Amino acid sequence: MKNLDPERARWIKIRMGMLCGLMGLGLGGIVSGAYHVQVDDGDEWFELAERQRQRRLHIQPKRGTIYDRNGAPLAESVEVPSVSLDAVEMLRGIDPKYLPMKIQQYSARVAEALNMPVEDVADKLTRRRRFAWLKRRVSEDEVQKVRELSDRTQRYPLAGLTIEGEGHRFYPNRELAGPLLGFVSPDGDGREGLELSLEHELKGHASEVHGLRDRAGRLLFSEGVEDEQALAGHNVYLTIDKGIQFTAERELEAAMKTYEAIGGSIVAVDPATGEILAMASSPGYNPNDYGAADPDARRNRAVADRFEPGSSMKVFMMASALAAKSVDPNATIYAENGTMAIDNVVIHDTHVSKWLTPTQCLSISSNICAAKIALGLGESRLYEGLRRFGFGDQSGIPFPGESAGVLRPRGRPWVQVETANAAYGQGISVTTLQLAMAMSAVANNGRLLEPLLVKRVNDGTGVTLSEASPHIRRDVVPAATAQLVSEMLVSVTEGEGTGVEAAIPGFRVAGKTGTAQKIDPTTGKYTDAHYIASFVGFVPVEKPRITIAVVLDEPVGGTHAGGSVSAPVFRRVGEMALRYLGVMPRGSVPMKLADLSKKAEAGDTAANTYQVMGEAKVAAAPAAGVVTPSAPMRAGEARVPDFAGWPAREAVKAAMGLGLTPTVEGTGRLTHQEPPAGAVLPKGAAVKLVFEPST
């Protein structure tokens, strides 16, 4: 600098100073930026670094199992292998100019191993994504082939293929309770039935597992899960009994084929608790292969379909009238010889009669007597009575898509013909579940219970989280009235009743038939071509153990009456259920209606709307096997029982059970037999039985 011109030296110093100043400013900016990044925004940058360094895996917990009331699995999750693809890893390090050729080569090898179209694999590789499902739920043979492709000891191994365990919903009983259970979609969500309504309990809680990853994104370390069972979905125990459910579905399917019906449903309930023991719907489907099922077959008709119940509604109209004391149980009602006009409508009876008691009104299902009783009760009290039995309202069952049925609101007064129609089940609609729960209220001394479908819920460790208990919705009618109606309903399954096909040997059955015309959607009028056949009842009358409602939609083949179509289904399901529940048949004597009617009265009986002609009498059928000894009996012989007062069905069955050949004359109850009781006859001999209608 000393040899330089002073002026030049001064400018050099100035330039050096400026350069140092700029460098100082730059260094200050760097230090300031580093301070801002590391101190002021340090937390944000640290979080970003952690996200880049760590890998988070979302762990989908195992879906809970659905069991029946006895612990038999109805739906469970099993782990099945699936193959995923990391396209970035598989194509790493390949020269771009060779990439199309390699994609085709790799796609062909993978497609051959997994039995997939080459185009599908090539499309996934071309997208260059870090994760994509190649094929879900693969076979063991396919798993082995994928492992061979990834084996590094082999020539030209393929990277980026991963075999992962994936939960798959499995229904071990195939079609059993299919519409009730529903199904689970491939993404693990319940879509229909209980799988949907119990989604929160069954699915569990998803969790994250944190770990380190290398340059290729592979997981190197996992923190693990502290309690795997705590993440699993809850196990649900239903009130359904697998044995009773199987019988209900078998008998329903047989009836569907026999009568070529388009649909049907059965609901079996424990009337003392409200627990649903079986809920069958036909046609059904296999939830393991729900994609191949018709959407119509996946519908649970027992809760979703509403229909006009027909004469089944007479039970609840009668109970409401007796509770309101608008009719005396011992009254006689003029049945108009089978034809009666109300407003501009003519009501007909199938069984032409002149005078009938309320019991006979139910027994032979008289529309005219039912209409007269309903008119005497009044539309307001009839509406309230049907509402109290649960009609026109959802039952509260935890199942999606439940229908409330249709019960015309009281806001618009019913005209006479509407009140009459409602008495025998026209102009209103119900579900099979509503029908079963309403009849259970009669069997349960007038208490309407809430239907129970979920018995208890356990977590993955076996701890009970919740347990259901019977819940009374309301007292519908007094207990004495319910007992009186129960005894009246026994006449439906005996003697000249419309439901004799529902009678179960050794038990007294209370029930009611229903045959309802369907409305033609094109004309809006009732048609004679299509019917709903139903039967609802409970057994045994003395201590009801099961209530069963059977509904068949549009039966054909020569008959459409509920007593011919649905009543036999009730009998077969009831017989099996009673044996299954350990209920043994025993002889019993029905209570007199007069005694029960006295119990139903809480004061002076209101003035009877109808003419009282005398007390209704119900003869008790003697216990099977009662005989009058008169002569010794040898091998190959049988002693004739005393059949006096027996209904025809029971007398014929008892005679045939002894090896005798009965010949029947007349209908009603037995008044004369030849030879007399106590006579000893060789097996195969004829016994003449003469029956006369009850008076």
- For the chain, the residue count is 695
Kindly tell me if the per-residue pLDDT of 536 is higher than 90. yes
Q: What is the pLDDT of residues 84-105, one digit of tens each?
A: 888 888 888 888 888 888 888 8
pLDDT band at 207 (very low <50, low <70, confident <90, very high): low
DSSP state of 51: H
What integer pLDDT is reported at residue 681 of this predicted model?
83
Contact 16, 174 (CB under 8 A): no
Kindly tell me if the per-residue pLDDT of 166 is higher than 50. yes
Kindly tell me if the per-residue pLDDT of 592 is higher than 60. no
Contact 270, 451 (CB under 8 A): no
Active-site option among 82, 282, 311, 486:
311
Domain range summary for the chain, segments of one domain joined by +: 6-40, 57-238, 242-596, 619-692
What integer pLDDT is reported at residue 695 of this predicted model?
44
Burial classification of residue 600, based on how many CB atoms lie within 10 Å of its CB (0-12 exposed, 13-18 middle, 19 or more buried) = buried
Kindly tell me if the per-residue pLDDT of 137 is higher than 50. yes
Determine the Cα angle at 36 with ends 32 and 41, to 5°: 175
Kindly tell me if the per-residue pLDDT of 189 is higher than 90. no
Is the overall model pTM greater than 0.85, yes or no? no
Strands 161-170 and 526-539: unpaired
Contact 552, 567 (CB under 8 A): no
Q: What is the pLDDT of residues 640-689, one digit of tens each?
A: 888 777 777 677 767 776 777 777 776 666 778 888 887 888 877 888 88
Non-local (6+) Cβ contacts of 347 within 8 A are 339, 340, 341, 367, 368, 371, 420
Contact 506, 586 (CB under 8 A): yes
What integer pLDDT is reported at residue 372 of this predicted model?
92
Phi-psi region of 693 (alpha: psi -120 to 50; beta: other; left: phi over 0): beta
Phi-psi region of 371 (alpha: psi -120 to 50; beta: other; left: phi over 0): alpha
User: What CATH code is assigned to 57-238?
Assistant: 3.90.1310.10
What integer pLDDT is reported at residue 507 of this predicted model?
92
Pick 329 or 42 by higher pLDDT.
Answer: 329
Lowest mean pLDDT among 34-43, 295-304, 481-490: 34-43
619-692 CATH choice from 3.40.630.40, 2.60.40.10, 3.30.10.20, 3.90.1150.10 = 3.30.10.20
180/284 Cα distance (integer angstroms)? 9
Q: Give the three-class secondary structure for 547.
A: strand
**What is the pLDDT averaged over residues 523-545?**
91
List phi, psi (to 5°) of 16. Answer: -65, -40
Pick 354 or 665 by higher pLDDT.
Answer: 354
467/357 Cα distance (integer angstroms)? 46
Q: Where are the beta strands (DSSP E) in 138-202?
A: 161-170
Domain 242-596 fold is Beta-lactamase (3.40.710)
- Contacts of 188-194 spanning 24+ positions with Cβ under 8 A: 188/60, 188/63, 192/298, 192/400, 193/300, 193/399, 193/400, 194/66, 194/236, 194/238, 194/398, 194/399, 194/453
What integer pLDDT is reported at residue 576 of this predicted model?
93
Contact 376, 420 (CB under 8 A): no
What integer pLDDT is reported at residue 613 of this predicted model?
28
37/276 Cα distance (integer angstroms)? 66
Question: Which run of H or of E encompasses 270?
Answer: strand 263-270
What integer pLDDT is reported at residue 344 of this predicted model?
81
Q: What is the pLDDT of residues 605-645, one digit of tens each?
A: 333 333 322 333 333 333 333 333 434 556 667 788 887 77
479/667 Cα distance (integer angstroms)? 34
Question: What is the pLDDT of the chain when averaged over all its residues?
Answer: 82
Kindly tell me if the per-residue pLDDT of 571 is higher than 90. yes
64/203 Cα distance (integer angstroms)? 6
Residue 311 is among the residues annotated as catalytic for this protein: yes
Q: What is the pLDDT of residues 471-524, one digit of tens each?
A: 999 999 999 999 999 999 999 999 889 999 999 998 999 999 999 988 888 888
